[in-house]
Amino acid sequence: MNAPTWTPQWIRNVFFERNKAGDCFYSELKDSDCFGLTGTKLYIAQNHPILTPGLLFVSKLFSQADFWVENVNTGKISRKHKALDALKNPNYYQTQMDFLESLMFMQIANGVAVVYKKPVVGMPDEISSLFLLDYYKITWPDDFKTTMSANAQKVLGTKVIYDKGGENIEIKIDDLYFFYDMPNGFNNHKIYNCHSRLDGMMQTLINTCDSLVAKNIILKTNGKEMITGKEGGFPLDDDEKRDAQRLLNNRYGLASNRSRSLITKGELNWKSLHIAVRDLGLDESVKVDGNIIYTGLHIPKDILSLEAKKTTYNNFKESMVSYIQNETQSSLDHFCEVVNTFSDDKNWVIKGSYDHLPVMQFIMLERYEVVKKQGEALKLLRDAGVPDELAIKMCGLPVETVLAKVVKPTSTPNPT
């Protein structure tokens, strides 16, 4: 058995066994031999056989977003803005995709992803670099609380210490972005804190690793045999054994140091220690737990599953589109909203989408078909004498935009 998690680390790596005779044995275990999981949630997320691939799928898909900025007054779209420049070159260690992938990975693992907007020296309003921080390395002031009566400037001006035993950097909260995987408003005094979805899946994560460890132990045990002698029997000496083997000629077809039989004076008992792994149901248990983990990550079975069941391309395509629209796009909108909320430039907002991905192209055809039908319906309504504003509303189109840019008043030229 393994020691509980509250015991010291040196005790946790000791495995205890006792046989029927009452003899006790203690053996030191490596981390890979232990049952259960050790380390932080971020460490577990990077070293779990099922969770890690799932998180990589989610985070890599998130990192493929396409960004632009839009003018809040005119609706003009531009690809040139200092916020986009900061994303394209977040820091000298990462590209945009590296940064976004790490952000989403840590956001799910820790429940909170924190980005440090490192300012330009002497220019506090200009961003020099973006660095991803581990939330659990942030040291908050002892008396810090997020209360409804607190002054916003005082809260944003509060300084925290990052990596106290390492870099030991003092950072203002105003220079930090916080991205949450779950709602963060359950504790009024700790608004910046948030649980991770891994907290609810921890037992399943443990069960998965324990099943794989148990399977490994069985595989190492299999192939071994036990031979015991019955009471009153004893083996032959070397000369007697060689004479008997020569008479039986039991080395035919084998090397000189091999033999086909074991010859003794007394009767022996033989027992195989082989255990059929399939009978233990460990693989089935891992599949069930794995699907629970993927469900926790909101990944449809048609995209990622351990059941090895075939799915059609159309089902995969529709599941991917649905996942991107309802899950990944939502996370991207949340990311953009955080950046826009704390941006100094209120005339432009950053936006992003995944419409450029190949899997999203077929949905564009459906959108074009809808627009085509809306245009045809609008033309029929106008031809029937329905007022333009009412016709546009009936077709589900934006009234002001269509009136200003599409529907133009017709004029009859004066006869000359």
280-299 per-position pLDDT tens digit: 777 888 888 888 999 999 99
Helix/strand/coil for 132: strand
Helix (H) or strand (E) holding 348: strand 348-353
Inside any domain, residue 415:
no
Identify the band that residue 123 occupies on the pLDDT scale cut at 50, 70 and 90: confident
Residue 117 and residue 192 share a domain: yes
Token reading at 239: 């000369």
Starting at the earlier edge strand, list the strands of the sheet with 138-139: 138-139, 159-162, 169-172
| Same domain? 89 vs 169 | yes
Domain count, the chain: 4
Q: What is the pLDDT of residue 411?
A: 46
Least confident of 101-110, 236-245, 351-360: 236-245
In a domain, 363, yes or no: yes
Strand, coil or helix: 71: strand
- For residue 313, what is the enclosing H or E element? helix 313-323
Model pLDDT for residues 63-99, shown as the tens digit of each residue: 999 999 999 988 899 999 999 999 999 999 999 999 9
The fraction of the chain above a pLDDT of 90, given in percent, is: 31
Helix (H) or strand (E) holding 106: helix 96-110
Is the residue at 44 inside a domain? no
Average pLDDT over every residue of 119-144: 88
Residue 349 belongs to a domain: no
Which of 213, 248, 272 terminates a domain? The answer is 272
Tokens, residue 381: 């309504």
Residues 263, 374 within the same domain: no
Q: Domain residues for 5?
A: 1-32
My answer on whether 240 and 172 are in the same domain is no
Residue 413 included in any domain = no
Contacts of 170 (CB under 8 A, 6+ apart): 159, 160, 161
E-state strands within 181-312: 225-229, 268-272
Asked whether residue 90 falls in the same domain as residue 194, the answer is yes
- Assess contact for 297 and 201: CB atoms under 8 A: no
Name the average pLDDT for the chain.
Answer: 80
- On whether residue 302 sits in a domain, the answer given is no
Is the same domain home to 128 and 16?
Answer: no
> What would you measure as the largest C-alpha separation in the chain, in angstroms?
134
Q: Are residues 192 and 94 in the same domain?
A: yes
| 272, 287, 303 - which closes a domain | 272
Closest of 44, 149, 66 to residue 356, by C-alpha: 66
Question: Confidence class of residue 186 from pLDDT cuts 50, 70 and 90?
Answer: confident
Tell me, yes or no, whether 14 and 91 share the same domain. no
Residue 262 has pLDDT above 70, yes or no: no
Contact 180, 111 (CB under 8 A): yes
Instruction: Give how far Cα 131 sits from Cα of 162, 334, 366, Å.
Output: 12, 19, 40
Under DSSP, the state recorded for 360 is G
pLDDT tens digits for 355-407? 999 888 877 777 788 888 888 888 888 888 888 888 888 888 877 777 776 66
